[in-house]
Amino acid sequence: MQRPSETRTSDTRRAETHEEAERVLRLCSACMYCDGFCAVFPAIAGKAFFSLVEVAHLANLCHACRGCWYACQYAPPHPFAVNLPQALAAAREASYAGFVRPRCLAPALDRPMVAVAVVLITTLAMVLGVLIAVPSAELFAVHRGEGAFYEIVPLPLMSGAAGLSLLWAVVSLAWSTLAFWRAVDPRVKRGVLRKALKPALRDIVILKNLGGGGHGCNDVDGRFSRERRWSHHLLVGGLLGTLVATVSAAALHHLAGLAAPYGWFSLPVLSGTLGGVAMLAGIGGLAAIELRGDRDPTLATERRHNAVFLALLALVAASGLAVLLLRETGLMGLVLTLHLGLVTGFFLALPMSKMIHAPFRAVALLRAAIDRIVAPPRRSGGE
């Protein structure tokens, strides 16, 4: 629980964040030189004032492609000191803490290492529990054939730990997303909302706003690039592969009566292996961009959130692949337990991690799609 002094400090910081974001947005709205770079500029055209909720919407609509930073004639050292990517990154971080549910998670969103602690404590508890409960001769023995995994960790414990932690993550993220949507909801008729769903979903799936208006984003420096866009696609594609692996394994277990582990050319193993490799490739690409990228248009706290989230995802993916590679060795039991602990801890930490950006950004894109339907045509920056 936050002490009164901490609450005042947090409120002051958020007020300052909003003030700076509004100052920069008002300058950008007057200039509009960057109209066409991304969805943010059409959304601010013609506006002179931006409420706290409007800033939160625009901050999550921003994909941090940084094109406006390199194009801006008012960027530092100009006296106006316009740094829109950094101002919106700060507002984005504030929106996570402001709308996360339950509210007690808000302080953790200011401290990325809390998520690391949750994952490490959960993993350590799982490993210690197995080391205590399972005799060493059995734990480090070679287990082969159907049901080998469950000789180390019983199925009810395995599915219960992962399932309950995932349920917590889904409920918390859905609750947080609903709170954000209620704040930015434009209150339009259902027909307009249904009409906006298709373009919003397209923008979400293809990551349109990481395209920099078609020429690419400035992922590392002033040069145009599509590295971050393709790395995101690899990461999400890998996650979908692991989802297919989980669902197909559950179907084989409950419908066909076949217990894991499965053969190398089975759907669960193939999709899980390809998914894990794709995840690591995407994580590597995003991490490389974080290391090489220009620091000036970024926010230090957002970089820390990104680094922590990518590191935890990499641990989960790598440990899953390790289970596949070592499943017929004496290390299988320990590696399986480690993987289960990492997965469970990761799900527990998910609502207080950078993962919250995905549903919030989806909401912002839906709101932007609605605005394009109901708003009159706007002039471009060159007109």
pLDDT digits (tens, 9 = 90+) for 83-116: 999 999 999 999 999 999 999 999 999 899 999 9
CA distance 5 to 18: 20
Q: Which of 70, 101, 132 is the last residue of a domain?
A: 101
CB 184 within 8 Å of CB 33: no
pLDDT at 9: 61
Q: Mean per-residue pLDDT for 184-206?
A: 94
Same domain, 272 and 291: yes
> Which DSSP string corresponds to 148-182?
-GGGTS-HHHHHHHHHHHHHHHHHHHHHHHHHHHH
Does residue 381 have a pLDDT over 70?
Answer: no
Q: Which of 101, 130, 161 is the last residue of a domain?
A: 101
Does residue 383 have a pLDDT over 90?
Answer: no
Residue 378 lies in a domain: no
Same domain, 25 and 96: yes
Helix axes 84-99, 155-184, angle to 10 degrees: 120
Residue 376 lies in a domain: no
217 φ/ψ angles, rounded to the nearest 5 degrees: -95, 175
> What would the pLDDT profile of 210-258 be if each residue is shown by its tens digit?
887 778 899 999 999 999 999 999 999 999 999 999 999 999 988 998 8
CA distance 84 to 90: 10
pLDDT at 46: 86
What are the structure tokens assigned to 31, written together? 């200039």
Same domain, 97 and 115: no
Encoded amino acid at 7, one letter = T
Same domain, 183 and 245: yes
CA angle 298, 304, 310 (to 5 degrees): 110
CB 352 within 8 Å of CB 309: no
Q: Mean per-residue pLDDT for 126-131?
A: 95
Same domain, 118 and 200: yes
CA distance 218 to 68: 9
pLDDT at 320: 95
Encoded amino acid at 146, one letter = E
Mean pLDDT of the chain: 92
10 Å CB burial of residue 84 (0-12, 13-18, 19+) is buried
- How many independent structural domains does the chain possess? 2
Residue 379 lies in a domain: no
Residues in the chain: 383
Cα Rg for the chain, rounded, in angstroms? 23
Q: Give whole-number Cα distances, 365 to 47, 205, 325, in Å.
A: 19, 11, 40
Task: Name the residue range of residue 113's domain.
Answer: 108-370
Same domain, 94 and 27: yes
Residue 35 lies in a domain: yes
Q: Which of 369, 354, 361 is nearest to 61 (CA)?
A: 361
Q: Mean per-residue pLDDT for 281-300?
A: 95
Return the SS3 of 325. helix
Q: Which of 101, 129, 161 is the last residue of a domain?
A: 101
295 φ/ψ angles, rounded to the nearest 5 degrees: -80, -25
Q: Which of 6, 2, 116 is nearest to 353 (CA)?
A: 116
CA distance 314 to 316: 5
> What would the pLDDT profile of 315-373 be if each residue is shown by its tens digit?
999 999 999 999 999 999 999 999 999 999 999 999 999 999 999 999 999 999 999 99
100 φ/ψ angles, rounded to the nearest 5 degrees: -65, 145
Same domain, 54 and 123: no
pLDDT at 213: 74
